[in-house]
Each structure stands twice: as structure tokens, then as C-alpha cells.
Amino acid sequence: MDLNLLTREDEFTWRVEPHGDMRVPAVLYADEALIRDMDHKVYEQACNVAMLPGIVKASYAMPDAHWGYGFPIGGVAAFDPKQGGVVSAGGVGFDISCGVRTLTTGLRREDVETVKSELAKILYYTVPAGVGSTGKIHLDDREMDAMLAGGAQWALERGYGRTEDLERTEEHGRMPGARPEQVSPHAKKRQRDEMGTLGSGNHYLEVQHVTEIYDTGIAAVYGIRPGSIVLSIHCGSRGLGHQIGTEFLKRMALAAGQYGITLPDRELACAPIESPVGEAYLGAMRAGINCALANRQIITHLARQAFAKVLPPADLRLLYDVSHNTCKVEEHEIDGQTRPLFVHRKGATRAFGPGHAEVPPAFREVGQPVLIGGSMGTASYILAGTNESERRAFSSACHGAGRAMSRHAATRQWKGGRLVNELAERGIVIRSPSMRGVAEEAPGAYKDVSAVVDAAQQAGLARKVARLEPVVCIKG
DNA sequence: ATGTCC
């Protein structure tokens, strides 16, 4: 990105003043090197989002931002329904409620070292991964609707997981306002056999060890210790979320025209929040959130079964489950007034700070765990929400490393089998049904997650707590 | 992300 396009507000804050049809500024958070390397498309897309009706304060880009469909991935934008605000399917993303869930295991690095290949094998055969992967759970129409309304709570009622998992899940495992009847029969059909599966792309199930603690106090509250083993699950709402996104993009393109909304980019298809299509999308999208929450809950149950076979002393306790592809109604302060806003986070993690009522009581004093997934073979991070993040980006932070190269370019540069061998030499066991997928996910195709996380911390979006490095990675 | 193009 050309630095001349931006006004540097401070070392980690870059601003584009409103010009043309922009209603608010665009604000990018990153260090200079990340901004230089950032795709020019992020500039264009962040500015385009700033043109949408009812947007308040600014259109934001996180340090891991890259080119997405309409909105940048790593984009945050909030809309006020009382000012003609809109909801956009492209502002949530195709993988509705994609997110990360991390569990502590009570194990130490040395406990898994000798059994990691066996553990990888059993996890791989227990949790289906890959394009079109299906599981052992099959939902009829009635159960599908119950799942879409009940989320992780539904999963728990069916025997997948422990009661205490829910208090460590965003929305207590169940997103209110879901309207299963707004989800098309086709979207439901696609999901029928996909519960408890990882899917593909950047999704993974990873056994990680804690290599560094940055904040001892918060780490203690989170139950994270140096040298301990954790399990992280990164996945979303599978075929159902994708189908909802696809269908509503079309409906919103028509609606935008009907409501006289001029779109700077047709990919920014949107509808007024207070319109039949807007309300239908919100109901379907919330059902999609419940699908993702139920999916990660079932995978948790399957992972516990796998661990019990290889490492019976393991006790997998949920640290937290947080999404990074959502649109949620939240109270935020605008011009000294607290108002309900529709906050779109696409490739951006909610990051509520200390004292926020939505943060589980156990973490209330230190802020919400913010789970940042790295790329395959690289570090992941646990951060904590800050109060500063509220005024910086509606309490949001980055979500991962962010792609630096297209999937196609990555497959030209790397071979999956070779990557697996190289990572094995570094002690990391990879299992995946697709070597092409592994090549697409080559660590070199991503930005440096450490630089991204440092920038997020320096910009005040979240605070570093711990660094995690992979031991076993089941890759979709 | 995605039954990686109905």
C-alpha cells in the first residue's frame, strides 16, 4: 500500500480522511512494514465500506487485513439502524461464525512428545477433515432446526460436551434471535451430514504447547502455564454458512437497488437493517452462528474421546470460544451516547475488555481471551481484551496471520508433501487429506503472525498473554 | 471459506 495515501496518526494508526462518497474515515492499525506490504485492495475496500449508509465512526482494518469479498478480511464496521444503517453478507463473510476455541489439557509437553504421532492419527480419524467432509451425525429436518436455534446448548443436550463448556463460549453457546425458517432447505441439506467436521482451507485442529508467557497475572487467570499443552479448534459453519452467504448476497444485491443504495462495489451488497431482507439475513446468520458453535462443541467432544484413548490423564477444559466472522448487536458509545450498533467483524475477533458484562465472570477482571490462530506450522497467540479497544475499533482485534499470497500462488511455490516433511523435522506432525491444501496453507503464504500480534497490542486492540507453538496439526 | 464452476 502506498503510504502517501494515508495520514499517520501515531506509530500504529493510519487514517484516510473522508473523500468522494465516504461518510466516515477509514482507519488502519498496523506498523509501517505491515502497511507497506498490505494489498492496495485493503485501502480500496476499507474506503468503500466507509461509503455505506448508516456507518458510524470509521471503517477499520486490523493489522492482518487482506483482500476479501467486498469487505476486507480483517475489517470492522458498525452501523446504526436509526441512521439507515445496513447489514451486509459480505461484511460477515462466507464462513459465518468461523472462530477459534482453545482448551487446556492439564498435560505438559513431555507427556505428548512420545505419543504425538499416535495422537495425530487418532485425532485425524476421529475428527473428519477436508472439503466436503462428513461425520457420523445425521440431522433430520426437526433436529436441524433445533440445532440452528440451540447452538452449543443443543449439542450439549445431545451429549456432546460438559455443562461448564457453555459458560466459556461466546453467547453461552447459543446465539439468540436465530430464525431457522429463514435458512433455505438447500443450506440445511448441505449441512445434514457435516456436523462435527473441520472443513478445509485454513481450518485446523491443533495440539499446541505454551512457549512464552507475556502477562503472568492474566495467564494465571486463564489457566495457561509455560510448557503446558493446549488444544485449539479453528472452524466454522461449513456448507450451511456458505450457502446462507451465497443466497443472501444475491438477495441483498436486489434489495440494495430497491432501497436506492448506491454501491461502490457490487460485492458490498447490503440491505437496511430494518428491512425484510435485512431482518431475514440476521435471523439466518444467527442460525449460522449457532451451527458453528454446535460444530465446535461436537468437535470438542470428539477430541476428548481421542485424547482419552491416547492420554487418559488429559482433562480438556474449555478456556474460551470466540468467533471472528459475525455481525452482532452491541452497545457502543458514539458522541457521548451509548447506542445499539450492528458491528460487522469479518476476520476480526471480538475483544471485550475488563468489566464488560459479556465476559465470563472468571475473566471479568482481566478481559476476554482473544484467540489468534497462526498459519500451519507457526505460532498462535492468546491475547486479552482491553478497554482501549472499545474506542479504537468497537472492541475488536486481529484474527490470525492473514494471507500474504493467493492460494494459487502458494501452490506454485510449495509442495504439500515436502512441507509436511520439513515440519516433521521441526517436531511438528501434520495430518491432512489434501497435500494441495497443505501447499495452499504454507506458512510462507501468510504474514508474520508475531508482527501482526505485536501491532495489535501496540495499537491497543488487545494485550499479549501467551504464545503457542504447534506439536500436532490436523489440517482440513 | 465452499459439493474449490449449475
Q: Note the pLDDT tens digit of each residue in A355-413.
A: 999 999 999 999 999 999 989 989 999 999 999 999 999 999 999 998 999 999 999 99
Q: Integer distance in angstroms from CA A210 to C1' B1?
A: 28
Which residue approaches B4 most closely, CA to C1'? A131
Percent helix / strand / coil, chain A, rounded to 5: 40, 25, 35
User: Strand B neighbours with CB under 7 A?
Assistant: A 94-95, 98, 131-132, 186, 190, 194, 199-203, 235-236, 238-239, 242-243, 407, 434, 437, 476
CA A258, CA A282: separation in Å to the nearest integer? 19
Q: Integer distance in angstroms from CA A179 to C1' B6?
A: 27
As given in the structure block, the three cell numbers for residue A317 are: 477444559
Q: Integer distance in angstroms from CA A331 to C1' B4?
A: 38
| Catalytic status, residue A203 | no
Q: Integer distance in angstroms from CA A95 to C1' B4?
A: 14
Q: Which nucleotide is nearest to A239 (CA to C1')?
A: B2
Q: Integer distance in angstroms from CA A348 to C1' B1?
A: 15
**Predicted local confidence at residue A96, as pLDDT:** 98
Q: Which nucleotide is nearest to A93 (CA to C1')?
A: B1
- Strand segments (E) across A236-316: 270-272
Is the Cβ–Cβ distance between A343 and A78 less than 8 Å? yes
Q: Which nucleotide is nearest to A189 (CA to C1')?
A: B3
Mind listing the pLDDT tens digit for each residue in A410-432?
999 999 999 999 999 999 999 99
Stretches where chain A sits below pLDDT 70 are none
Angle between helices A276-310 and A238-258 (to 10 degrees): 170
What mean pLDDT, rounded, does chain A reach? 97
Q: Which nucleotide is nearest to A73 (CA to C1')?
A: B1
Q: Integer distance in angstroms from CA A407 to C1' B4?
A: 11
**Predicted local confidence at residue A132, as pLDDT:** 94
Q: Which nucleotide is nearest to A191 (CA to C1')?
A: B3
Which residue approaches B3 most closely, CA to C1'? A132
- Asked whether the CA dihedral A38, A39, A44, A46 is positive or negative, the reply is negative
The residue type found at A110 is E
Within 7 A of a protein CB, which nucleotides of strand B?
A: 1-4
Q: Which residue carries 487418532 as its cell? A: A122
**Predicted local confidence at residue A238, as pLDDT:** 98
Cα distances from A111 to residues A209, A310, A342, in angstroms, run: 11, 11, 45
- Residue in A66, A332, A399, A408 annotated catalytic: A399
As given in the structure block, the three cell numbers for residue A71 are: 469487505
| CATH code for residues A3-81+97-475 | 3.90.1860.10
